[in-house]
Structure 1
Amino acid sequence: MRKILISVLLIPFVACDDWLDIKPKNYVASDEVFTTRENLYAALTGCYDALQFQHYYGRSFIIAGDLLSDNSMAKGTKIELIALDENNLTPDNIIVEGIWEDIYTAINRANYILEGVQNVNFLNETEKNDIVGQLLFLRALHYFNLVRLYGAVPLKLKPTTKNNPSNFLPRSPVGSVYQQIISDLDSAEISIHNNQPQWATGRSVKALKALVYLTLGDYSHALYYTNECLLENSYLESDYSRLFGSFTEPSPEIIFYIPFIPSDNNRLAEYHFPNQLGGRYENAPKLDFVNSLTTSDKRKKWIAESLSTSSGNIYYTKKYPNLSTGANNVTVLRNAELYFIRAEALYFTDSVAHYNAILSDINTVRQRAGLNPIDSASAVGKLWPILENEKQLEFAFEGKRWFDLVRTNRALVKIPSVTSVNQTLFPIPQTEILYNPQITPADQNPGY
């Protein structure tokens, strides 16, 4: 009997929703997923579990977002990480292939349930719609991450099985992929009823829409959805420990996060902690970035904790502080990012007319970090560098910096090893070109 692997997410929170109280099975046969409520929600849990894959939010996707940028540098001997640091990728890079494969596996899980859930008779319409909405949010997130990394990608909207010819699709244009992302999010927005931030919520849909529209340069829609979110909740957490690590109660600032427990094998701490503390020290802050941090900045110990060694001080991030257990939750969306989305959208709409509003959003996040606000006079002529630098400080080692630089056409300016716009996309993996007859070497991204 063909099996679908469901690695269970053990959530340490109790919610009133009945389905969150169901203990899912480790494995659910494919022909049993839609037979009981328990099996269906176990399969849904498996869709969230896919976010934890090691080449996705469990490690590589997060590390790539910083290592490709001016935040960090490769300190170990792993050639795939050194290639990221040097912006010298090849189609057979383990991470290039791994992120692609993990995200498409996640998409396939979502598509499988989307195809069958409408036919079950043990859920009411509200419950069905909620499940569909959550899955559409996840699929939109997956394709958003794919299109930003690889550009045009195969747009799979139906479940596939191994070695089935229907698996093989050509690359869809970037515009078509974004149209599907927006369509999925539009549908998700009116369908989701869940309000727990470890699962997709209506607010997480709006926050993702704001970021997607910002990426597309549609600043009016980016502002609309950002304001919608911030009107509902504009809280910024004063205790950073409630944003990182194994918090048992998520901060109200968190919009969407991925819980990890020890058995989930999150290796982010291992890859960031120094060898002297039992880690691998594969990804470390660049010294010029460390030197840009002031001692009064509350974020400094989370971004660049200092460790004295025989060869001098070294620095490492503590945003993933639990090395021994690996129980480090990963925050995907939080309110601080909304302030920066709004500031960026206002800047590119009219930086003069919105000067004070932009500076106000920047200062709101700065002051939460214990820093003095930047006065209006000192920001004249420097508003964009200030905005860019402040967001870099706030989200260092959360996998966002590379996407920010690419979105604003700043990668070639800020990163010496990026000398061509071709480097702002990953190559299509060699395995995909080898096995997918719809994608040939001629379809490879330019420069690879």
Structure 2
Amino acid sequence: MDEKNNSNFVKSNYFTSASQAQTFVNGIYNKLYLFQNGDAYGESPFITIELFAGHATSLGQSVNNGNVINQRTDPVNPGFESVWQNCYSAIANANLALQEIPNVAMDGAQKKRLLGEAQFLRAFFYYHLVRLYGDVPLITAPVTVDSPDLFPTRTPVAQVYPVIISDLVSAEASGLPETDQTGHASLGAVRTLLASVYLTTAGFPLNITANYALAAAEAQKVLSSYTLFTDYAYLHDNAHKNQGELIFQSNYLVGVSTNAITQLTVPFNLPVGAYGDHLGAMVPTNQFFNSYEAGDLRAQERQFYFSSYPQYGDPTKTVVFGSHNLYKYFQVESALGNGICDENWTFLRLPEAMLIYAEATNEVSGPTADAYAQINKIRTRAQLAPLSGLSQDQFRQAIWKERYHELAYENKAYFDIQRTHMIYDVTNNKFSDAFSTANEQGVTMKQQYLLWPVPQREINNNKKLTQNTGW
């Protein structure tokens, strides 16, 4: 007799219970870790995305990081490949969940929520793909060996965004909780991401200006559900994960999954924590640090940045860095403990929703009292004077500047350059054309750098794929 091995899970025998469906969707969240994966050379997708914006340098050993900063990288950079592959792996799992879960006998409300989570995650990963690579293969069903999507062509950006928006609109109606402290998608996450998508599509390359109003409407729904922290340290400690202003995070826990976020961003080769290596892979430029207004709390020591710290092993001595490193990613628990970091990475938080609302509202009707209220709450926390009496263009640039300073090094600046074609000229404290203005490192952005190259290995394996202009 042939005995069926039920422990050998395949698609045909896996989705048979509510617990299996839940476990499968939970597994999709693990793909979020790809953005924080790091190596001993100081390479990580969250660092690569930030280096493209031009306001950070790298003191580590990574040749690839240096090539990105100086705009001489190429399609064989392994970071480009890992992001592409992992995003599509997550999308494949989301596609399978969306196909199979409707057939599972389970509570209807739970089923609806799981489908909403899968739709949110598929939209999340496609949103990164379409911004990073432009036209990308649009695959919305599981792929088999005889599927036409086994070797797909690239789908125009204008056709990818409607699928992202459709997924998020469906997720918004799926019964998700308003907020969530377990790391799962919530209405707050869905609405903030959708507001970001609308804001992006209102700018380059699509320029659908009607989407400014939609961005404002979605962001407004979020504002009353979250609260700003009273201490910036809560952004990166263990006690406040998934709380307060933190809308959506990638979640870590010692013994389950850990990362190298702090190790990658501490000063290069200086003993400020219990880490085997201090990689210095992303260091803010002094010019960017100096662009904060006088008295801004965020620029004061051990708020968003720090320039010295007690020496690990001998706290009677102080290590002076010679640079302003990112305290907003310094996890005290691991630095003073065993060097194993389980700091959460934040994808979405309340100040972004507030600034989306302010910017989108301004584009629709100019500065309003409500728009001023949102940006001024952020400034008040930073101990800055409130804004008032600005023209529409002055208010627009004030919001852009606030995005740079509040969301600094959170993977927002590069995407802002893409949608505005403007760069923050920190030396002159103004916004200028991205393709004719040198950044503080003397590099002027090439238009090809608005997108990443399609990984060369993908093109080698699929002759239907084409390369982005300039690469």
TM-score between both structures, scaled by the size of structure 2:
0.81
- Aligned residue identity for 1:341: I
User: Using the alignment, how far apart are the partners of 1:27 and 1:88 within structure 2?
Assistant: 47
2:31 is equivalent to residue 38 of structure 1 = no
Aligned to 1:196: 180
Contact 2:242/2:248, CA 8 A, preserved across alignment = no
Task: String of CA shifts for 1:183-203, please: whole Å, max 9, x gaps.
Answer: 111111111334424111122
2:263 is equivalent to residue 266 of structure 1 = no
Q: 1:38 to 1:410 in 2, by over 3 A?
A: same
User: Using the alignment, how far apart are the partners of 2:418 and 2:352 within structure 1?
Assistant: 17
- Structure 1 residues 5-84: aligned runs within 5 Å: 30-53=11-34, 60-84=44-68
Aligned to 2:218: 225
Aligned to 2:96: 112
1:270 Cα shift? 1.3
Task: String of CA shifts for 1:268-302, please: whole Å, max 9, x gaps.
Answer: 11110122134211110111012223574332324
Aligned to 1:417: 443
Secondary structure of the corresponding residue to residue 297 of structure 2: coil
Contact 2:37/2:259, CA 8 A, preserved across alignment = no
Which of 72, 91, 112 matches 1:88?
72
1:178 Cα shift? 0.1
- Structure 1 residues 268-287: aligned runs within 5 Å: 268-274=261-267, 275-276=269-270, 277=272, 278=275, 279-287=278-286
- Structure 1 residues 42-441: aligned runs within 5 Å: 42-53=23-34, 60-121=44-105, 123-160=106-143, 166-194=149-177, 195-197=179-181, 198-217=183-202, 218-230=211-223, 232-233=224-225, 235-262=227-254, 263-274=256-267, 275-276=269-270, 277=272, 278=275, 279-293=278-292, 296-300=295-299, 301-307=302-308, 313-322=322-331, 323=335, 324-351=339-366, 354=367, 357-376=370-389, 382-411=394-423, 412=434, 413=437, 415=439, 417-439=443-465
Q: 1:346 to 1:431 in 2, by over 3 A?
A: same
1:55 Cα shift? 5.9
- Aligned residue identity for 1:207: T
Q: 1:417 to 1:159 in 2, by over 3 A?
A: farther
1:166 Cα shift? 3.7
User: Using the alignment, how far apart are the partners of 2:212 and 2:294 within structure 1?
Assistant: 35
Contact 1:55/1:99, CA 8 A, preserved across alignment = no
1:369 Cα shift? 1.8
User: Using the alignment, how far apart are the partners of 1:193 and 1:358 within structure 2?
Assistant: 27
Q: 1:287 to 1:175 in 2, by over 3 A?
A: same
User: Using the alignment, how far apart are the partners of 2:13 and 2:135 within structure 1?
Assistant: 35
User: Using the alignment, how far apart are the partners of 1:27 and 1:191 within structure 2?
Assistant: 32
Higher mean alpha-carbon deviation, 263-272 vs 239-248, is at 239-248
User: Using the alignment, how far apart are the partners of 1:50 and 1:57 within structure 2?
Assistant: 14
1:208 Cα shift? 1.0
RMSD (CA atoms): 2.8
2:468 is equivalent to residue 445 of structure 1 = yes
Higher mean alpha-carbon deviation, 412-421 vs 273-282, is at 412-421
Higher mean alpha-carbon deviation, 163-172 vs 338-347, is at 163-172
User: Using the alignment, how far apart are the partners of 1:60 and 1:400 within structure 2?
Assistant: 16
- Aligned residue identity for 1:432: E
Task: String of CA shifts for 1:96-155, please: whole Å, max 9, x gaps.
Answer: 11111111111112112111111111x122111110000000000100111111000001
Q: More helix by proportion, 1 or 2?
A: 1
- Aligned residue identity for 1:303: F
Q: 1:246 to 1:137 in 2, by over 3 A?
A: same
1:357 Cα shift? 4.6
Task: String of CA shifts for 1:391-419, please: whole Å, max 9, x gaps.
Answer: 11111121111111221111414645344
Q: 1:83 to 1:124 in 2, by over 3 A?
A: same
Higher mean alpha-carbon deviation, 159-168 vs 269-278, is at 159-168
Contact 1:211/1:341, CA 8 A, preserved across alignment = yes
Task: String of CA shifts for 1:409-444, please: whole Å, max 9, x gaps.
Answer: 1141464534432210111110110001321xxx21
Aligned to 1:21: none
Contact 1:297/1:369, CA 8 A, preserved across alignment = yes
Contact 1:51/1:57, CA 8 A, preserved across alignment = no
Secondary structure of the corresponding residue to residue 315 of structure 1: strand
Secondary structure of the corresponding residue to residue 221 of structure 2: helix
Higher mean alpha-carbon deviation, 173-182 vs 32-41, is at 32-41
Secondary structure of the corresponding residue to residue 252 of structure 2: coil
Secondary structure of the corresponding residue to residue 229 of structure 2: coil
Contact 1:134/1:192, CA 8 A, preserved across alignment = no
User: Using the alignment, how far apart are the partners of 2:36 and 2:457 within structure 1?
Assistant: 16
1:167 Cα shift? 2.2
Contact 1:57/1:330, CA 8 A, preserved across alignment = no
1:27 Cα shift? 10
1:50 Cα shift? 1.0
Task: String of CA shifts for 1:156-181, please: whole Å, max 9, x gaps.
Answer: 11223689764211000001100100
User: Using the alignment, how far apart are the partners of 1:68 and 1:112 within structure 2?
Assistant: 33
* Identical pairs, percent: 29
Q: 1:302 to 1:101 in 2, by over 3 A?
A: farther
Secondary structure of the corresponding residue to residue 299 of structure 1: helix
Q: 1:336 to 1:162 in 2, by over 3 A?
A: farther
Contact 1:66/1:396, CA 8 A, preserved across alignment = no
Secondary structure of the corresponding residue to residue 341 of structure 1: helix
User: Using the alignment, how far apart are the partners of 2:35 and 2:194 within structure 1?
Assistant: 26
